[in-house]
């Protein structure tokens, strides 16, 4: 590595090198790589299972139908992770929402819309509280949201130890609603998830609030000096995550039609994994919500492929998620290492 002579003068880089450097530094590159890998996986599935209806567009739609709640949860996680934080309470809030919804509907006989509102408010309030504690008392998000994880899972069990199934006409109708799309259909949950995605894209990329989220992730200290209301933004981000988790919980109820204290245990890991696979840095400040969608689709496609394979058992999907996670984290390290190398 005889870098001595080239480093001496910054101007001595060749245009080709500069182009390469620019490409390596492009923030869209990780998302692009995820997209390419997703296509390769889809192509692999298409060639291997072409006689088992894999090419049916509904297979793709089904990814949204089966993973809508995960997508919504992962969107919330994206906000938090972009600020450089983490939210471990996602799975518990989803479980809590499912229990709360089931209990309010079957025991208190409240109407579904009201229940949905209560659930969303509860999730948001939980997120707000966690954000408040994190910011005001400067405690690590990891620990605070860990407490949130315990609290909401505990509340699940306090509501009821056993699972509660929901037999509600409106709920069943909603769950069975098929929204027609070209060459297939989507469930209501999937449509809502896609809607949430659109809103998230707008908020993160087209509003001042979104820019603040990125600024804090880039450097909290700088953001503070640049006049960003860091505290308010951080609290807002955890509130959004709480809201998304509650919404994901509602979609989950719609999908499963029951409340169970053990619903969505460990789902926060899937959400975080989807965010990371989608190219968002866990250190914050870099990534796209669209990448999170790709990450969720990647996890969904992995499960689909495993189920199409038939002989493979479900636990392979956990291993596959771990391998994907490793792959993408190593890739991120490699990219930054390459950047350093090319810059020299």
Task: Give me the least distance between CB of 194 and other proteins, in Å please.
Answer: 20
Task: Give me the least distance between CB of 116 and other proteins, in Å please.
Answer: 24
Task: Give me the least distance between CB of 241 and other proteins, in Å please.
Answer: 15
Task: Give me the least distance between CB of 234 and other proteins, in Å please.
Answer: 9
Output the CA angle 95-243-82, nearest 5 degrees.
110
Task: Give me the least distance between CB of 80 and other proteins, in Å please.
Answer: 11
Tokens 């400040």 appear where?
285
Of the pair 189, 249, the CB lying nearest other proteins is at: 249
- What stretch of H or E contains 54? none
Of the pair 151, 253, the CB lying nearest other proteins is at: 151
Of the pair 184, 229, the CB lying nearest other proteins is at: 229
Of the pair 17, 211, the CB lying nearest other proteins is at: 211
SS3 for 80? helix
Task: Give me the least distance between CB of 183 and other proteins, in Å please.
Answer: 33
Of the pair 114, 323, the CB lying nearest other proteins is at: 323
How far is residue 255's CA from residue 267's CA, in Å, rounded to a whole number?
15
Of the pair 65, 228, the CB lying nearest other proteins is at: 228
**HEC assignment per residue over 253-292:** HHHHCEECCCCCCCHHHHHHHHHHHCCCCCCCCCCCHHHH
All residues at 6 or more sequence positions from 218 whose CB lies less than 8 Å from its CB, including other chains: 284, 285, 286
**Rg from Cα positions in the chain:** 22
Task: Give me the least distance between CB of 85 and other proteins, in Å please.
Answer: 7
- Quickly list H helices, the chain: 4-8, 15-25, 29-48, 57-82, 90-106, 112-136, 141-159, 169-176, 188-206, 208-218, 220-225, 230-256, 267-277, 289-309, 315-343
How far is residue 191's CA from residue 174's CA, in Å, rounded to a whole number?
12
How far is residue 122's CA from residue 104's CA, in Å, rounded to a whole number?
13
Of the pair 155, 186, the CB lying nearest other proteins is at: 155
């Amino acid at each position: 590595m005889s870098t001595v002579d080239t480093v001496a003068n910054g101007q001595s880089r060749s245009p080709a090198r500069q182009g390469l450097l620019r490409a390596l530094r492009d923030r869209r590159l990780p998302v692009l790589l995820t997209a390419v890998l997703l296509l390769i996986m889809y192509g692999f599935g298409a060639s291997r299972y072409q006689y088992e209806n894999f090419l049916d567009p509904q297979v793709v739609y089904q990814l949204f139908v089966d993973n809508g709640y995960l997508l919504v949860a992962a969107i919330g996680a994206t906000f938090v992770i972009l600020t450089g934080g983490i939210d471990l309470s996602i799975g518990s809030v989803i479980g809590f929402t499912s229990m709360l919804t089931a209990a309010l509907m079957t025991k208190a006989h409240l109407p579904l819309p009201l229940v949905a509102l209560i659930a969303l408010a509860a999730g948001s309030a939980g997120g707000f509280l966690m954000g408040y504690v994190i910011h005001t008392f400067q405690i690590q998000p990891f620990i605070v949201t860990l407490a949130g994880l315990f609290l909401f899972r505990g509340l699940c069990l306090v509501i009821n130890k056993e699972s509660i199934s929901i037999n509600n006409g409106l709920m069943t109708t909603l769950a069975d609603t098929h929204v027609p799309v070209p060459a297939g259909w989507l469930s209501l949950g999937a449509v809502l998830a896609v809607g949430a995605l659109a809103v998230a894209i707008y908020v993160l990329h087209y509003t001042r609030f979104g820019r603040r989220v990125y600024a804090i992730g880039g450097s909290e200290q700088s953001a503070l000096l640049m006049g960003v209301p860091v505290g308010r933004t951080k609290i807002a981000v955890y509130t959004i995550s709480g809201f998304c988790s509650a919404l994901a919980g509602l979609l989950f109820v719609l999908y499963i039609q029951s409340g169970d204290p053990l619903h969505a245990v460990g789902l926060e890991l899937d959400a975080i994994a989807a965010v990371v696979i989608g190219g968002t840095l866990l250190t914050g400040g870099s990534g796209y919500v669209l990448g999170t969608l790709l990450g969720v689709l990647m996890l969904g496609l992995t499960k689909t492929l495993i189920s199409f394979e038939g002989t493979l058992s479900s636990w392979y999907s956990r291993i596959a998620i771990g391998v994907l996670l490793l792959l993408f984290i190593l890739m991120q390290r490699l990219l930054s290492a390459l950047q350093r190398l090319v810059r020299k």
